[in-house]
Amino acid sequence: MNIVLRELRANMKALIIWCVMQVFLIYVGMLKYAGMAEAGNSVNDLLAGLPEIFKTMFGLSTFDLTHVGGYYGVFFLYFILLGSIHAVMLGAVIISKEERDKTADFLLTKPVSRVRIITSKLVAALINIVAFNLTTLIASIIIVDMYNQGQSITGDIIKLMIALFIIQLIFLSVGVGTAVMTRNTKKATSVSTAVLLITFILSMAIDMYSKIENLKYLTPFKYFEARQLMFGGQFEAVFIVLSALIVIVLVTVTYIFYKKRDMQV
């Protein structure tokens, strides 16, 4: 418990900054919605005739922007981008920072097992990403409601937040996994950033070039997409299973590697 509290306190400032960023993003975005909604429907009719890959290419055009749900759907990409950066950095740093700050000797000579240390750190990280997710959820519901004149989209928002949470979990485990497999914080953050950038750009490439669609299993950014989840869509079982598998494997690896790790001075 003491380790969890210590970690929560250590990450408090960063968490607040991230949450403020999220709320600000949602607010600024929705502020503009009012103007957009008036722009009329002609654009949407014309867009309907375009081939699918070009719609995805332009990101925005897949959604009916005059409808609050369609407009909000655009945000999902930003959420998963920010959420994954937050989670991957959090995971990479929370494990490796004891050695970075030369506190490893302090913590590991206390009468606690390494398993306990990892568990506490994971719990603290989990609380952080849940807080990030809940902030996004609550801010979305409130701010969207302020501008929504049609049907409530709270159900869709909740669905998107569940998807966001799964992606956060994946990247958190990528972060902690890299941390135990690398020598120091700098390497851990570099490698996990590389994973993040490569998977992100791959997801964009898949959007542009349909022939490489099968690579979508490699990038979490393609596991859940707003336009598939919203308006009555469902989660795809295969991606849920795949996500669970990635998280379980990486977390197990984290425990095993950390137990055997030689602490650097």
List residues near another protein by CB under 8 A.
14, 18, 21, 25, 28-29, 32, 36, 42-43, 46-47, 49-51, 53-54, 58-61, 65, 74, 77-78, 81-82, 85, 89, 93, 97, 100-101, 185-186, 189-190, 193, 196-197, 201, 204-205, 208-209, 211
Encoding tokens for residue 43? 């654009």
Question: What is the sign, positive or negative, of the torsion defined by CA atoms of 154, 155, 158, 163?
Answer: negative
CB of 85 to another protein, least distance (A): 5
42 or 149: whose CB is closer to another protein? 42
DSSP string, 24-53: HHHHHHHHTHHHHHTT-SHHHHHHTTS-HH
Say if CB 53 and CB 138 are below 8 A apart: no
Closest separation between CB of residue 66 and another protein, Å?
Answer: 12
Task: Please name which of 241, 200, 238, 235 lies closest in space to residue 219, comparing C-alpha atoms.
Answer: 200
Q: Which helix (H) or strand (E) holds 171?
A: helix 154-181
113/108 Cα distance (integer angstroms): 8
Cβ proximity to another protein: between 30 and 239 the closer is 30
Consecutive H or E run containing 255: helix 237-260
Smallest gap, in angstroms, from Cβ of residue 172 to another protein? 14
Choose between 105 and 259: whose C-beta lies nearer to another protein: 105
Query: Between residues 18 and 239, which has the closer beta carbon with respect to another protein?
Result: 18
Kindly state the smallest distance separating residue 113's Cβ from another protein, in Å: 26
Least distance (Å) from another protein to the CB of residue 115?
Answer: 25
| Of residues 97 and 159, the one with the C-beta less far from another protein | 97
